[in-house]
């Protein structure tokens, strides 16, 4: 798994690199600047005019080193400084002096940026946790409006590298090159609007320096699933019961049922309002409908339950939630089931919760902005409070469970911000639960398959026109990538 670290761990790695490998700050800075120059050359080989935005600290020092490499290679280079922030750290001053001695050009930002083919953001590194001051904010805004693409060093200035929060204006990079180790905050939430494509330069820090350091989170890898045995039958692949579809909302539970079938469930049974039975069986003849008076017996034989898709919050919905939680069955709680749970919180150790940020805020009795401030912490808090696995949906969905390292998805796309996507995710995860996966594993594998199918579907439909049923049609491709 690709591990993601907080700022304290990154600073510890820098100290260990010096103590255990002889890589002092000077060596690391020179390696960082050189690695950034190589990345710039790889992606913009024809760039002739390089503009470096240099801040006062060591991140600025990395930029001065890159500027010197560009200068010595014959490029036209300009280093631009905020008027209020000249080089302040000892190393930044040293690298600035070396650049000047090589004949490099330095200017102070006065409201406009000069022409450039590539802009390098070396204003602030991982230490900035507040909104940039007014003059720096103006510089960042000017960079974002400039026609040149931006390479950010370590983190886009204005983005909190640990939490992903963006408290003010922030650089919108085309590429972000992280140094030594990947930063937890850059993989999820609002940070995703600013990082562009993430890359990592280890600076040759030995792996031994990581010993004993705990990652804050990790990127979810491609799951591994077994091939079906030749003599298997549908009874081997789980009975899934889906409950939802209040009056006028039958499409939600239908999408969940179809996703469960496409995920390989052996039996799919649907408890919904009778007015939806005809549409369900017409669209999904492989599914079976369940009447309310037979629900108790069906629930007893189910291996997993998904509840919430189009459920509503009336008496019918509350009665079903009570039955599901009292059954002790592995279950997925989505949509209105989450809103009902937020109204009467209780531990649900058999469940996987799949909230979007608004539902997460209701479950934690806070604001949606609080959720976005630190999505990893929010997912962890949800898992602890409700004692279950959680998929906090959104850009870089976060999967958490008590006592386990959170996982972040690097699959999925903005086209999935459309109706019915959560219903399909619930059906996929419920199927994996029914097939015997533990809640954290079912949540992780299901969320990855969902995102990967969305990425396949968007290639055919485009982001604007992507529908939940387009994603369902691509689940087979996503599963095929996981079969060992």
Tell me the angle at which helices 336-343 and 315-327 cross, rounded to the nearest 10 degrees. 80
Grade residue 127 by pLDDT with cuts at 50, 70 and 90: confident
CA distance linking residue 360 with residue 364, whole number of Å: 6
| Residue 370: C-alpha distances to residues 128, 378, 383 (Å) | 19, 8, 16
At 86 the three-state DSSP class reads coil
Report, in angstroms and rounded to the nearest whole number, the Rg of the chain calculated over CA atoms: 26
The string of pLDDT tens digits covering residues 191-217 is: 999 999 999 999 999 999 999 999 999
Q: CB neighbours of 232 closer than 8 A, spacing ≥ 6?
A: none
Q: Rounded CA gap, 429 and 216, in Å?
A: 24
| Statement: residue 87 has pLDDT above 90 | no
Kindly indicate the confidence band of residue 83, based on its pLDDT and cuts at 50, 70 and 90.
confident
Q: What is the pLDDT of residue 85?
A: 82
- What's the rounded Cα separation, in Å, for the pair 11 and 125? 12
On the CB side of 201, how many CA atoms lie within 13 Å of its CA?
Answer: 24
Question: Does the pLDDT at position 106 exceed 80?
Answer: yes
Given a cut of 70, whether residue 1 has pLDDT beyond it is no
Is residue 310 pLDDT above 80, yes or no?
A: yes
Q: Is the pLDDT of residue 220 over 90?
A: yes
Q: Give me the pLDDT at residue 129, please.
A: 85
Q: Is the pTM of this model over 0.85?
A: yes
Which residues are bridge partners to 183 per DSSP? Answer: 5
Question: What pLDDT is stored for residue 484 in this prediction?
Answer: 84
Of 168, 144, 349, 337, give the one whose Cα is nearest residue 244.
337
The pLDDT value given to residue 440: 98
Handedness of CA 167, 11, 395, 242 (dihedral sign): negative
> pLDDT tens, 409-443?
999 999 999 999 999 999 999 999 999 999 999 99
Measured CA to CA, the distance from residue 141 to residue 130 in angstroms comes to: 16
The string over 206-227, giving b where at least 16 C-beta atoms fall within 10 Å of a residue's C-beta and e elsewhere, is eeebbeebebbbbbbeebebee
Burial 393-432 (b: 16+ CB within 10 A, else e): bbbbbbbbbeeebbbbbbbbeebbebebbbbbbbbbbbbb
pLDDT attached to residue 128:
85
Kindly state the average pLDDT of the residues 370-399: 98
Supply 81's token pair.
């400084």
Please state, in angstroms and rounded to a whole number, the distance separating the CA atoms of residues 395 and 414.
8
Q: How distant, in Å, are the alpha carbons of 137, 193, 314, 328 from that of 13?
A: 30, 27, 53, 45
What is the residue-averaged pLDDT of the chain?
Answer: 96
């Amino acid at each position: 798994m690709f591990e993601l670290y907080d700022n304290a761990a990154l600073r510890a790695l820098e100290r260990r690199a010096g103590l255990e490998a002889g890589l002092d700050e000077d060596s690391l800075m020179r390696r960082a600047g050189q690695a950034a120059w190589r990345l710039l050359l790889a992606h913009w080989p024809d760039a002739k005019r390089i503009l470096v935005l240099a801040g006062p600290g060591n991140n600025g020092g990395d930029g001065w080193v890159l500027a010197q490499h560009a200068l010595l290679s014959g490029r036209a280079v300009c280093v631009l400084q905020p008027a209020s922030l000249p080089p302040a750290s000892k190393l930044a001053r040293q690298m600035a002096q070396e650049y000047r001695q090589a004949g490099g050009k330095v200017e102070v930002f006065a409201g406009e940026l000069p022409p450039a083919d590539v802009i390098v953001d070396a204003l602030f590194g991982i230490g900035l946790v507040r909104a940039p001051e007014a003059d720096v904010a103006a510089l960042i805004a000017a960079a974002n409006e400039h026609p040149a693409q931006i390479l950010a060093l370590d983190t886009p200035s204005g983005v909190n590298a640990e939490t992903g929060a963006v408290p003010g204006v922030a650089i919108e990079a085309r590429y972000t090159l992280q140094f030594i180790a990947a930063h937890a905050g850059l993989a999820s939430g609002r940070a995703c609007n600013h990082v562009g494509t993430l890359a990592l330069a280890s600076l040759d820090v030995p792996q031994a320096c990581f010993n004993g350091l705990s990652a804050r989170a990790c990127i979810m890898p491609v799951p591994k699933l077994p091939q079906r045995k030749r003599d298997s039958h549908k009874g081997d692949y789980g009975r899934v019961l889906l409950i939802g579809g209040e009056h006028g909302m039958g499409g939600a539970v239908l999408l969940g049922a179809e996703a469960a079938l496409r995920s390989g469930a052996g039996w799919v049974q649907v408890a919904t309002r009778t007015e939806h039975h005809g549409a369900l069986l017409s669209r999904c003849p492989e599914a079976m409908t369940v009447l309310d008076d037979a629900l108790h017996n069906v629930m007893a034989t189910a291996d997993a339950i998904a509840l919430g898709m189009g459920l509503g919050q009336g008496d019918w919905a509350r009665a079903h939630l009570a039955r599901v939680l009292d059954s002790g069955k592995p279950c997925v709680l989505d949509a209105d089931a989450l809103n009902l749970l937020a109204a009467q919180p209780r531990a649900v150790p058999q469940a996987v919760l799949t909230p979007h940020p608004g539902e997460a805020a209701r479950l934690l009795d806070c604001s949606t902005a609080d959720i976005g401030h630190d999505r990893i912490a929010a997912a962890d808090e949800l898992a602890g409070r409700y004692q279950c696995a959680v998929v906090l949906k959104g850009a870089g969905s976060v999967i958490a469970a008590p006592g386990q390292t959170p996982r972040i998805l690097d699959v999925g796309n903005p086209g999935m911000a459309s109706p019915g996507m959560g219903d399909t995710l619930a059906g996929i995860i419920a199927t994996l639960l029914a097939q015997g996966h533990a809640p954290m594993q079912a949540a992780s594998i299901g969320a990855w398959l969902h995102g990967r199918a969305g990425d396949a579907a968007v290639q055919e439909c485009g982001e604007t026109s992507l529908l939940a049923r387009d994603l369902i049609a691509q689940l087979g491709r996503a599963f095929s990538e996981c079969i060992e």
